[in-house]
Amino acid sequence: MPHIADLPLHGGKAPRWLFNRMVELARVIADYILTEYGPAELLKRLTDPFWFQSLGCVLGFDWHSSGLTTTTCGALKIALADLGPNAGLYAVGGKGKASTKIPSDLTQLGDTVGFSPDPFIYTSRMTAKVDSAGLQDGYQVYHQLFLFMPESSQWVVIDQGMNTQTGWARRYHWGSDQLPSFIIDPHAAIEGRRGLDVLNMVSSDSVGSQGRSVEIANDVPHFRKEFMRIRHLELPAHHRINLSDLDSKRVQRVFLKTFERPPQDFENLLASPGVGPATVRALALVSQIIFGEAPSYEDPVSFSFAHGGKDGTPFPVNRRVYDHTISYFSNALKRSKLGHSEENHALRRLSRWLDEVSVVH
């Protein structure tokens, strides 16, 4: 069961003085983890929504707002670029237009670094497709950060969607090490707000509906007949799929164009060009009516006290303390790389002590 947390949509952005510091501290933290544990460990931590949220809080952003995702990802992307190829870890994407450039950025990096970008491009597209069409929870995906290790083919995706009507955001964490399948319970974790009707075609409970959807997709005339018949039925008001959102002519055009080469399975169907939320909803509805295969509708702060928050919660960012933190950890990292590990031993003891205190309380 994924972890759930509220992420209200907040306007505005981090002021330049704060964002510059966020990049500096993110670079130090990333470098520390890469030096001590390696890039695979950093990727593993980024699949944990609590660790990611804590990182954003330590960096000084609003502890619970949607902007924490985009700003923390932006700072981390720049930080990893500053660390360079020796980090063994790359990040592309971001908010809005930056996410649409992921395929071209991966292609360029592939030419420069020397790896095949195609598997990573497919992964980026499939995770976005799943979060927008396979899992329809009312949140429009507008952000994707794609982090990867070319040598081991490990990767992490952090997507975020927004629902402007409810004023809430949802974050999706993906990790290659925790991915059983793109279409069967694929997420490492999801953070978001409950209370919405959700069509989850990538749930293990939707396997039957997936198979029937593929079957229908291979029989366009049958689909067209049943779909038009269903649109004229008087369905109960509580029905989960909103038929008014389905443009029958547009859906049929997609089928006629796309399924000249019939999909072999649900992943192949979802990956097909032109297949979006409306098409998936139509298939799910028809398969439910014809075969009785119902899809799943289960909807899958303390760190802010380190430096404060952008909007003054729990208190305004203390620039002097923030700069001291960057300086201290930068110096400790330099000493660690030179073989002086006293600071690291002290920090580990402090971390264990904090864990014990939190358990006691």
Q: What stretches in the chain show pLDDT beneath 70?
A: 1-12, 62-65, 191-197, 220, 222-261, 282-283, 285-306, 313-314, 339-361
Total Cβ atoms within 10 A of residue 261: 8
pLDDT of 169 = 85
pLDDT of 129 = 94
DSSP string, 293-361: -PPB-----GGGGTT-BTT-SSSB--HHHHHHHHHHHHHHHHHHHTT--HHHHHHHHHHHHHHHHHHH-
Would you state the structure tokens that stand for residue 192, as one six-digit string? 């978001």
pLDDT of 200 = 87
pLDDT of 192 = 58
Q: Which of 120, 34, 141, 14 is nearest to 75 (CA)?
A: 14
What is each CA distance from 38 to 44, 89, 149, 150, in whole angstroms?
10, 10, 11, 14
pLDDT of 323 = 86
Q: Is the pTM of this model over 0.85?
A: no
CA–CA distance, 318 with 70 (Å, rounded to integer): 22
pLDDT of 136 = 87
> Cα 199 vs. chain centroid, distance in angstroms?
18
pLDDT of 304 = 65
pLDDT of 66 = 74
pLDDT per residue over 74-105, tens digit each? 999 999 999 999 899 999 999 999 999 999 99
Would you state the structure tokens that stand for residue 69, as one six-digit string? 């995702």
CA–CA distance, 308 with 238 (Å, rounded to integer): 44
